[in-house]
């Protein structure tokens, strides 16, 4: 095996050849598909009379358009129903496994592949979805692709790609109470910028990530793309193997031992060379909230919205645009900003550990009057597990609604939408203009625990004040 970073090794092992363009033809071990970016890709292969080359390496689910309340078919939204039928038909035609609503395995694509054990170290994974970077938490090279690339993978199981540089992002130390994986990644993006990672794969390393659970690692890798990095990964270790062991599609018996040996070999070598190295101290990371219209516009919950003169030239224009859109004043504290909607869910923070942590703070408290607060587990399996622990009851008693799995208000391609210029406290990953279903809707990104703090206070609050 070649020496170097995990990225280099996995890249080399999956290289089919070099194309005339100079790009690499890279073999894709696992292709995940969903209803939004696959219909046109299927139409394109159909037009050319092509087949799906490796249906057994292709797995589908439905997540973006599913209603989280009434899931009766046909869906009330005819466009959603059409997308659903298109996916059902394509999967049937090409013998692709489809985890449909009610299968017990449906959910946000980036939640179900790990929980089924499909996502494994050393793999190349592609999906027509930018947050495919999530799967890097397992030491896979996983990235989002566009519809024409979905076509390429369906037809050839390969992609034409240019190799990325690798930046090692080291975070060391223990996170302070009330500070979560979400704050770590929001902090990294705040410091390195939303375009800082363009051209790079991010390798997250250091004791902070080593101490994280797989779910926390997924939260971090998920938002690599918001920092401009096409993929982000963490070297596999005992935590990874313990998570994967005995999952449905994980290797079994002798194959398991062989797999672990191989996974150990693909870890970045200690003397690997990086194109860049950045180091952060975990103790300096505060509970972070975004105030603007990019995930890079984050501040500590006890900081004030930056004034134009405190910002570097390159950030001023987008800050001006953000003050106008968000209707927030530079210099004002973010804490105390009134919110209307509180959303816990998404592929960033809709997993069991997120719901458990949020429930700890919701227990025995009440959602403030006039606030709409709701919890959307990322998958059917997570929903079931959460209910078995009684988390649903804690949320409902506190005044949250408990919904069915899907992307929901992360992107609002389903009925869960902000109205007018409502402000949401959201555990999702994007605060772009109009992201949550209203062209004037405003989004404040934060950890699930911070969303609960906002829900019970009716305004942005510091979760540390709720700590026992």
Ligand X SMILES: CC(C)[C@H](C(=O)O)[C@@H](O)C(=O)O
**Residue 191: both structure tokens together:** 């410091």
What is the x/- site pattern for ligand SF4, positions 171-210, by CB under 6 A?
Answer: ----------------------------------------
Quick check: helix, strand or coil at residue 84? helix
- Residue (of 403, 450, 452, 413) closest to 435 by Cα position: 413
CA 175 from centroid of its chain's CA atoms: 21
List the alpha helices (DSSP H) in 306-435. Answer: 313-326, 346-349, 352-362, 380-388, 391-398
User: Site for ligand SF4 (CB under 6 A): how many residues?
Assistant: 12
User: In terms of CB distance, is 36 or 319 closer to ligand X?
Assistant: 36
Q: Are strands 15-18 and 165-172 parallel, antiparallel or unpaired?
A: unpaired
| Site membership for ligand SF4, residue 407 (CB under 6 A) | yes
Span near ligand SF4 by CB under 6 A; candidates 6-14, 80-88, 199-207, 405-413: 405-413
CB-CB contact of 144 with 230 (8 Å):
yes
| Site membership for ligand X, residue 415 (CB under 6 A) | no
Q: Are strands 200-205 and 165-172 parallel, antiparallel or unpaired?
A: parallel
Say whether 127 counts as a known binding-site residue.
Answer: no
| Site membership for ligand X, residue 240 (CB under 6 A) | no
Quick check: helix, strand or coil at residue 113? helix
| Site membership for ligand X, residue 131 (CB under 6 A) | yes
Residue 40 φ/ψ, nearest 5 degrees: -65, -35
Say whether 91 counts as a known binding-site residue.
Answer: no
Q: Residue 227 touches which of ligand SF4, ligand X, none (CB < 5 to 8 A by kind)?
A: none
Beta bridge pairs of residue 232:
202
**Among 66, 91, 108, 150, which residue interacts with ligand SF4 (rule: CB under 6 A)?**
108
User: In terms of CB distance, is 299 or 412 closer to ligand SF4?
Assistant: 412
Give min distance, CB of 3 to ligand SF4, in A.
Answer: 35
Residue 216 φ/ψ, nearest 5 degrees: -65, -40
| Site membership for ligand SF4, residue 429 (CB under 6 A) | yes
Measured distance CA(156)–CA(212) in Å, rounded:
36
Measured distance CA(208)–CA(13) in Å, rounded:
29
| Site membership for ligand SF4, residue 145 (CB under 6 A) | no
**Among 115, 129, 216, 380, which residue interacts with ligand X (rule: CB under 6 A)?**
129
User: In terms of CB distance, is 63 or 183 closer to ligand SF4?
Assistant: 63
CB-CB contact of 455 with 368 (8 Å):
yes
User: In terms of CB distance, is 131 or 187 closer to ligand X?
Assistant: 131
**Among 9, 31, 64, 168, which residue interacts with ligand SF4 (rule: CB under 6 A)?**
64
| Site membership for ligand SF4, residue 410 (CB under 6 A) | yes
What does the chain come to in residues?
468
Q: Are strands 30-33 and 124-127 parallel, antiparallel or unpaired?
A: parallel
| Dihedral over Cα of 241, 243, 245, 248: its sign | negative
CA 202 from centroid of its chain's CA atoms: 15
Give min distance, CB of 247 to ligand SF4, in A.
Answer: 21
Give min distance, CB of 411 to ligand X, in A.
Answer: 5
User: In terms of CB distance, is 230 or 267 closer to ligand SF4?
Assistant: 230
Q: Residue 166 touches which of ligand X, ligand SF4, none (CB < 5 to 8 A by kind)?
A: none
- Residue (of 200, 124, 135) closest to 159 by Cα position: 124
Quick check: helix, strand or coil at residue 168? strand
**Among 57, 64, 187, 403, which residue interacts with ligand X (rule: CB under 6 A)?**
64
Span near ligand X by CB under 6 A; candidates 123-131, 177-185, 197-205, 440-448: 123-131
Residue entry with tokens 């030491």:
139
Beta bridge pairs of residue 223:
none
Measured distance CA(275)–CA(7) in Å, rounded:
12
User: In terms of CB distance, is 166 or 342 closer to ligand SF4?
Assistant: 342
Beta bridge pairs of residue 25:
17, 160
| Site membership for ligand X, residue 229 (CB under 6 A) | no
Span near ligand X by CB under 6 A; candidates 125-133, 156-164, 267-275, 445-453: 125-133
Q: Residue 346 touches which of ligand SF4, ligand X, none (CB < 5 to 8 A by kind)?
A: ligand SF4
Measured distance CA(464)–CA(453) in Å, rounded:
9
| Site membership for ligand X, residue 38 (CB under 6 A) | no
**Among 411, 450, 454, 456, which residue interacts with ligand X (rule: CB under 6 A)?**
411
CB-CB contact of 1 with 265 (8 Å):
yes
Give min distance, CB of 352 to ligand X, in A.
Answer: 21
| Site membership for ligand SF4, residue 411 (CB under 6 A) | yes
Say whether 407 counts as a known binding-site residue.
Answer: yes
Q: Which residues are annotated as a binding site for [4Fe-4S] cluster?
A: 347, 407, 410
Q: Which residues bind ligand SF4 (CB under 6 A)?
A: 63-64, 108, 129, 131, 346-347, 407, 410-411, 428-429
Residues in touch with ligand X (CB under 6 A) = 36-37, 64, 129-131, 144, 411
Task: Extract the annotated binding site.
Answer: 347, 407, 410
């Amino acid at each position: 095996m070649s020496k170097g970073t995990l990225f280099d090794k996995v890249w080399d092992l999956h290289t089919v050849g070099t194309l005339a363009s100079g790009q690499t033809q890279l073999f894709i071990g696992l292709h995940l598909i969903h209803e939004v970016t696959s219909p046109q890709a299927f139409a394109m292969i159909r037009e050319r009379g092509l087949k799906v080359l490796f249906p057994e390496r292709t797995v589908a689910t439905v997540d973006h358009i599913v209603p989280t309340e009434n899931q009766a078919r046909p869906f009330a939204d005819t466009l959603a129903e059409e997308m659903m039928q298109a996916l059902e038909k394509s999967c049937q035609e090409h013998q692709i496994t489809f985890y449909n609503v009610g299968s017990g395995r449906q959910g946000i694509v980036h939640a179900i592949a790990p929980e089924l054990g499909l996502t494994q170290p050393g793999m190349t994974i592609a999906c027509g979805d930018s947050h495919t970077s999530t799967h890097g938490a397992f030491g896979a090279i996983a990235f989002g692709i566009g519809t024409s690339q979905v076509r390429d993978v369906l037809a050839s199981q390969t992609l034409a790609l240019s190799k990325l540089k690798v930046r090692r992002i080291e975070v060391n130390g223990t996170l302070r109470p009330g500070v979560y994986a979400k704050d770590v990644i929001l902090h990294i993006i705040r410091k390195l910028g939303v375009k800082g990672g363009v051209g790079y794969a991010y390798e997250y390393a250091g004791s902070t990530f080593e101490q994280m659970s797989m779910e926390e690692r997924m939260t971090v890798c998920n938002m690599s793309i918001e920092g401009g990095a096409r993929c982000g990964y963490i070297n596999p270790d005992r935590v990874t193997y313990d998570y994967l062991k005995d999952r449905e599609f994980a290797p079994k018996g002798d194959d398991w031992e062989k797999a672990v040996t191989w996974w150990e070999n693909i870890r970045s070598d200690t003397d690997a060379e990086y194109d860049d190295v950045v180091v952060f101290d975990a103790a300096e990371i505060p509970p972070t909230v975004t105030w603007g219209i990019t995930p890079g516009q984050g501040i500590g919950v006890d900081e004030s919205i930056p004034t134009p003169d405190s910002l570097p030239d390159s950030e001023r224009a987008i800050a001006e645009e953000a003050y106008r859109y968000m209707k927030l004043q530079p210099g004002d504290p973010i804490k105390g900003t009134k919110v209307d909607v509180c959303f816990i869910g998404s592929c960033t923070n809709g997993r069991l550990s997120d719901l458990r942590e949020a429930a700890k703070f919701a227990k025995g408290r009440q959602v403030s009057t006039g606030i709409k607060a709701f919890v959307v587990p990322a998958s059917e399996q997570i929903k079931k597990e959460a209910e078995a622990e009684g988390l649903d009851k804690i949320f409902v008693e506190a005044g949250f609604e408990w919904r069915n799995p899907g992307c929901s208000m992360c992107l609002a391609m389903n009925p869960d939408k902000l109205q007018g210029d409502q402000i949401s406290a959201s555990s999702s990953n994007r605060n772009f203009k109009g992201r949550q279903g209203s062209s004037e809707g405003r989004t404040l990104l934060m950890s699930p625990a911070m969303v609960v703090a906002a829900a019970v206070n009716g305004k942005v609050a510091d979760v540390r004040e709720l700590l026992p």
